[in-house]
Amino acid sequence: MAKVPDWDDLPEVKGMPKGCAWGVFDKDGKKDVYGTLNLLTPEIIKSAYSELKDGVSVSLNWPIGAIETPGFSRKGLVHKVMSFVDTPLAAHGYDDEIEFNTQCSSQWDSLCHFHHQESKSGYNGVQTSVEALTQTYGNEDKDQKLPTLNHWHKRGGLVARGVFIDFKLYADEEGRSFNPYNDDKITVQDIEAIAKKQGVEFKKGDVIIIRSGFTEGLTGVSAQKQGELMGSHRTCGVTGDEATAKWFWNKHFAAVAGDMIAFEHIPPKRPDGSEGQVSELVLHQYFLALFGMPIGELWDLKALSEKCKELGRYSFLLTSVPLNVPGGIGSPPNALAVF
């Protein structure tokens, strides 16, 4: 594919802020719905397979239902088990049904999950609605006009080189005070220092995965304790500002992920230093709506940390296949790190 422009060279998009990548990945007059996944060319994917050396894999998926009461009034897991004995099958065995908000545990955010707020637009200027996104099989978005997760299946899911930034381990070793349940920040300088210490060199098309310790503090504790930790509605994350967005774009990552609830810190900070509302999240607007860069959140990264430390390397083959739900806005990542 043609060289992807750096931030300073991105063409101007009328009425949109600097850093808007709408049109960059369009082809043959058709609006793109994949965003930075376009960086995952056959050559990039074949190169990622060079990470396979040890024949071991690690799941990056936190249990659905790990948070008893998800934040922002989202629905938690409801799991119903049904015996065949009580059905027309009249046999010994079971079915089950599950209901949950796709943001309640490990997930991918699609490119229409969070819009550029001023223009009310998703990635590539798409205008969406509840009606347009509520689709059924046979009546789905066959023309690929909406950047929903089901379209990933036409690309064969996500296969990439994953690179791990173990911020929690770094902070612990440095004796740095860091509270995942406050708006403590992981800076670009932190990421670069950790990458250097771990011997990680970023490459075009990488998926960067950052560990803060957020999910670990919520694992195995009571619902009451979870509520206490999350009750302030302040959470850690990558610094949410334009300079950070520029750094991520210029690294040409295919996607980003972490164990944080929003990847970036909450509440957001305005340029004048005052605290903003959730609608003012900076990286969500840049990554999802302006770049077309998927965000993974609440991934389970403790076992990955242990395996990377054991093997002494922090890159691997990453695979991920979201649910194939027509109009899917979020999905469990079903992600594996393979060494």
Give the pLDDT confidence of 232-245 residue by residue, as tens digits.
Answer: 889 999 999 999 99
Q: Does the pLDDT value for residue 330 go beyond 80? A: yes
Per-residue pLDDT at 99: 96
CA atoms of 70 and 77, how far apart (whole Å): 9
CA atoms of 274 and 13, how far apart (whole Å): 28
**One-letter-per-residue 3-state SS of 258-320:** ECCCCCECECCECCCCCECCHHHCHHHHHHHHHHCCCEEECCCCHHHHHHHHHHCCCEEEEEE
Per-residue pLDDT at 320: 98
Mean pLDDT in residue range 201-214: 98
Give the pLDDT confidence of 305-326 residue by residue, as tens digits.
Answer: 999 999 999 999 999 999 999 9
Per-residue pLDDT at 179: 96
Q: CB–CB of 141/152 below 8 Å? A: no
Q: Does the pLDDT value for residue 126 go beyond 90? A: yes
Q: What three-state secondary structure class fits 185? A: strand
Q: CB–CB of 114/289 below 8 Å? A: yes
Q: Does the pLDDT value for residue 1 go beyond 80? A: no
pLDDT band at 73 (very low <50, low <70, confident <90, very high): confident
Q: Does the pLDDT value for residue 74 go beyond 80? A: yes
pLDDT band at 86 (very low <50, low <70, confident <90, very high): confident
- Output the average pLDDT for the chain: 96
Give the pLDDT confidence of 277-296 residue by residue, as tens digits.
Answer: 999 999 999 999 999 999 99
Q: CB–CB of 111/328 below 8 Å? A: no
Rounded percentage of the chain residues whose pLDDT exceeds 90 = 96
Q: Which helix (H) or strand (E) holds 227?
A: helix 223-230
Q: Does the pLDDT value for residue 47 go beyond 80? A: yes
Per-residue pLDDT at 157: 98
Rounded to the nearest 10°, the torsion over CA 169, 320, 162, 240 is: -70
Sequence-separated (6 or more) residues with CB below 8 Å from residue 118: none
Segment among 53-57, 71-75, 177-181 with least mean pLDDT: 71-75
Q: Which helix (H) or strand (E) holds 46?
A: helix 42-48
Protein fold of 22-68+103-338:
Glucose Oxidase; domain 1 (3.50.30)
Mean pLDDT in residue range 120-139: 95
In this structure, the number of other CB atoms found within 10 A of the CB of residue 312 comes to 8
Comparing CA positions, the residue from 163, 106, 202 lying closest to residue 317 is: 163
Q: Does the pLDDT value for residue 100 go beyond 90? A: yes
Segment among 35-39, 66-70, 200-204, 246-250 with least mean pLDDT: 66-70
pLDDT band at 175 (very low <50, low <70, confident <90, very high): very high
Could you tell me the pTM of the whole model? 0.96
pLDDT band at 72 (very low <50, low <70, confident <90, very high): confident
